[in-house]
Amino acid sequence: MRVTINLSSMLKPSEPTWSGSLALSELDQTGMTAHVPTIYFYTQSSENWHAVLQTLKTSLTTTLVHFYPLAGRLNSIAGGRLELNCNTDGVPFTEAYADVKLVDLDDFFQHPVFDQLIPTVDYRNTPLEETPMLLLQVTRFVCGGWSLGFCISHVAVDGQSALHFLSEWARVCRGEPMGSQPYLDRKVLRAGDPPMMTCVNRNIKLHAQCSPPPILLGQSSNENERRQETTVTMLKLTKTLVEKLRNKANENQKTENDRSFTRYEVVTAHAWRTACKIRNLEPEQETSIGICIDIRHRMNPPLPEKYFGNAIVDVIATGTSGELVSGTLGFVSSKIRDSIGKVDDEFVNSVIDFLKNQEDLSKFQDLQLIKDEKGPFYGNPNLGVISWLTLPMYGVDFGWGKELFTGPGTNDAEDGDFLILRGEEGDGSLIVAVCLQVRHMEDFKRVFYQSIEED
């Protein structure tokens, strides 16, 4: 496939917006500070292509009036911290053409690499102050179908907020009024305020920031594992396979009142056990799994409706390879559930207080935006799992019909990175996007499926 860039432009809000420095919360500027890519594919519209492009661009500039932080840029301030300069420098919008038909891509899940269809950021050569928060690329295919490559800064927003913007843009593009305004004031998460020091959380060891992931026994660092060649694949779990996993995990529940394990809990537990098996870890090898939790409804009171920013924290579950492999799926699922269950208002505030007390936040960042450094490594012997199961990413209609397919784009995935998302809409299946060392991937795929039937 050859993709030709026809035109690139910088689109700005169509009306004047507030300008100035927007304080970011500690949850915005710790963890992954890179851009997250997503792609949408659409079939041919009834309008001519020029009209489609013009409608997309005009509606974008209108939507940016309400979501103006996405047209800004970041600044680095003292203590390794970041702030968002709402200067309306704009959003790069690229128009491109691909010399193939959509049908030539066959099964989209067999083509997880969409480098040419999603804009990227050159972190090495682009100064922080010039790096856009949002980049877009619309590509037309020979058949008349088209794709939207969507690349957004994880410093600016998390998945829920990114998709709030996308859904409102689609609504405006259809000629409808805005459905819901973003809540832009991040001070609700004490952005810019000093630490409260009101609690010492008894679960401090669950803070991902306080517990560096284990390294392999006999090694003094994770540098050797970081250097290993990796590969990415997407594994489909049919509804039947998902239910088999849930039945296995729930068969040892002690009472009828025990709540059944969720799809996320059992699939995450199954992936963790499988990784321990195929990595041939020593039984006493410590291993952890990083879990990303949405806190919007875990705070007291809950965060304002349509809070626009990062409202996620990372927690960890730990164990030894021996206990995970020999234990039941329900036992491992309970480790996942117990860690998630400890995330409440007190826990979140203790994370924020911990981070606010740090003189330098850079050690808790994956600093791709600032310098070529990496944050915590959840590769061998660990995993890092993100769920897109609750994200409203499906059914995005810009006025010419809902998407044919949507999924994650390419990213700088590392060994141990897992992403769980829904399969085809309505069929109950799940997709697990996996990044592992090349030497482990084939064994992982084999054991991942075989053990569902055998355990």
Residues serving a catalytic function are 154, 397
- Helix or strand holding residue 272 (H, E): helix 263-278
DSSP code, position 342? T
Strand blocks (E) in 238-324: 286-294, 312-320
The torsion defined by the Cα of 21, 26, 29 and 35, in degrees rounded to 10, comes to -100
Helix (H, G, I), strand (E, B) or coil at 146: strand
β 405-408/35-42 pair status: antiparallel
CA-based diameter of the chain, in Å? Answer: 63
**What is 153-191 written as a DSSP string?**
ETTT--HHHHHHHHHHHHHHHTTPPPS---B--GGGGTT
Integer Cα distance of 253 and 334 in angstroms? 10
Integer Cα distance of 108 and 103 in angstroms? 9
Integer Cα distance of 397 and 152 in angstroms? 19
Long-range contacts made by residues 239-243, C-beta under 8 angstroms, separation at least 24? Answer: 239/427, 239/428, 239/429, 241/449, 241/452, 242/266, 242/267, 242/428, 242/429, 242/430
